[in-house]
Amino acid sequence: MHQLTLAEIARGLADKSFSSEELTTALLARIERLDPQLNSFISVTREQALKQARHADQRRAQGEDGVLLGAPIAHKDLFCTQGVRTSCGSKMLDTFTAPYDATVVARLAEAGMVSLGKTNMDEFAMGSANESSHYGAVKNPWSLEHVPGGSSGGSAAAVAARLLPAATGTDTGGSIRQPAALTSLTGLKPTYGRVSRWGMIAYASSLDQGGPMARTAEDCALLLQGMAGFDPKDSTSVDEPVPDYRAGLDAPLQGLRIGLPKEYFGSGLDPRIGELVQASVKALEQLGAVVKEISLPNMQHAIPAYYVIAPAEASSNLSRFDGVRFGHRCADPKDLTDLYKRSRGEGFGSEVQRRIMVGTYALSAGYYDAYYVKAQQIRRLIKNDFMAAFEQVDVILGPTTPNLAWKLGAKSDDPVAAYLEDVYTITANLAGLPGLSMPAGFVDGLPVGVQLLAPYFQEGRLLNVAHRYQQVTDWHTRAPNGF
């Protein structure tokens, strides 16, 4: 059963080929046996999952037939989950039990999904390798010596290793798409505001967006259908109708205009990845698409702009973790200042501390205009580039990452090198656009992903293109050895 996709599980549950309880029991046993190799879970909620599975089976017995009813899921450990530890991968929140469900968690629970637990992640979602977690690094199931990508690396590794069919992730600068690429999954970052951020512990509030991670575009469509929609509790949520994402999956690609930004194919791209990107372009051309070269001239400024804006927002958001109301508190503080300093110094890891310091500096009185305001101006230029491009093309295609998954620890002493791995993904977050990564092949046994970007609220178009591509390729069906 562990090899089934979410769509196949939905059909199996509907046909009564197996029950939700049988499926949940099998997957929990698989997690217990295999996850020690991967470290993809922080918490496994065995008793709660079995209770939810039995309840889902009862609902089916009473005549309900929801497509997600009884299907398994795991949540990245920054989605608040009532009664369950929600740690954000940090010592700061190691003992925090959420008193309520995030909207994403609540909506999928209402649809009848069974939560198997909370997945490992870079601390407070800050990282590209899933090595900064308080609970240890996550390993890539395709090669246990390599990183799975971050910050949603736990979700990616668990799904890629067939511990479960799908999981939630969040994407601030590529943290759904990049680990999806490095583990041969389909990962979707929706338009900013399409999925509620309420109950999602914030890193950078104007960039964070939750989304689905699964093996196929069809599975991502099923999950997004359950997650998306306006939420009055989230002031950044957009009141936009949610289409039937599954209905448009099989639409023909005849005449689809695909843009290839010339800036994507420079010296920073591993040429072997470039070859697989071009192969994916040819496959889409055979399906009727038309390819055109375009330009995104301000892409070169994206990384410096992002690494001013994101740390600045993190500096503000993480100021609430002060040892007073919740989270880690140091022992025997001498006074209030000592409480703040030691609680934060002990609770936050080095990468989080680094970004807080950068962000605080950028927001300080003497540097606000020179750094933060300038970065926001560049952000607008990047958005304008995309708006101009989408007047010429329907989707933009390119590599998801410039390099293959690197070995664990290879970039630990050089954070800037890790930051550069986000070069193709962060522009979508700066502009608020939807983006999707899909499997496109392997180099030296390591997965390669191709990224698709579309205009605002055109997630259905991304899913359609990826689904049609997956009908003529088999990269998404391959499983790592031993899993």
Q: Give pLDDT tens digits for 313-363.
A: 999 999 999 999 889 999 999 999 999 999 999 999 999 999 999 999 999
> What band does 413 get if pLDDT is binned at 50, 70 and 90?
confident
Average pLDDT over every residue of 161-184? 98
Catalytic residue check, 151: yes
- Active-site residue (options: 151, 196, 343, 437): 151
- pTM of the full predicted structure? 0.96
What values do phi and psi take at 234, rounded to 5? -115, 115
- Active-site residue (options: 20, 87, 115, 175): 175
Residue closest to 25 by CA, chosen among 141, 105, 116:
116
Average pLDDT over every residue of 178-206? 97
Residue 61 burial class via C-beta count within 10 angstroms: exposed 0-12, middle 13-18, buried 19 and up: exposed
Six-digit token string for 234: 């989230």
* pLDDT at position 418 over 90: no
Average pLDDT over every residue of 291-312? 96
pLDDT digits (tens, 9 = 90+) for 382-404: 999 999 999 999 999 999 999 99
Query: Using CA atoms, how far apart are residues 212 and 217, in angstroms rounded to an integer?
Result: 10
What value does the mean pLDDT of the chain take? 96
∠ CA 186-189-192, rounded to 5°: 170
Residue 267 pLDDT: 85
Average pLDDT over every residue of 199-221? 97
Contact 91, 133 (CB under 8 A): no
* pLDDT at position 122 over 90: yes
CATH number belonging to domain 6-254:
3.90.1300.10
pLDDT digits (tens, 9 = 90+) for 123-169: 999 999 999 999 999 999 999 999 999 999 999 999 999 999 999 99
Catalytic residue check, 155: no
> What band does 68 get if pLDDT is binned at 50, 70 and 90?
very high
What values do phi and psi take at 74, rounded to 5? -135, 150
pLDDT digits (tens, 9 = 90+) for 215-235: 999 999 999 999 999 999 999
Residue 99 pLDDT: 96
Catalytic residue check, 282: no
Residue 306 pLDDT: 95
Contact 229, 441 (CB under 8 A): no
Average pLDDT over every residue of 85-113? 97
Residue 366 pLDDT: 87
Residue 415 pLDDT: 83
pLDDT digits (tens, 9 = 90+) for 431-464: 999 999 999 999 999 999 999 999 999 999 999 9
Residue 81 pLDDT: 97
* pLDDT at position 173 over 90: yes
> What band does 419 get if pLDDT is binned at 50, 70 and 90?
confident
∠ CA 35-410-162, rounded to 5°: 25
Query: Using CA atoms, how far apart are residues 322 and 304, in angstroms rounded to an integer?
Result: 29
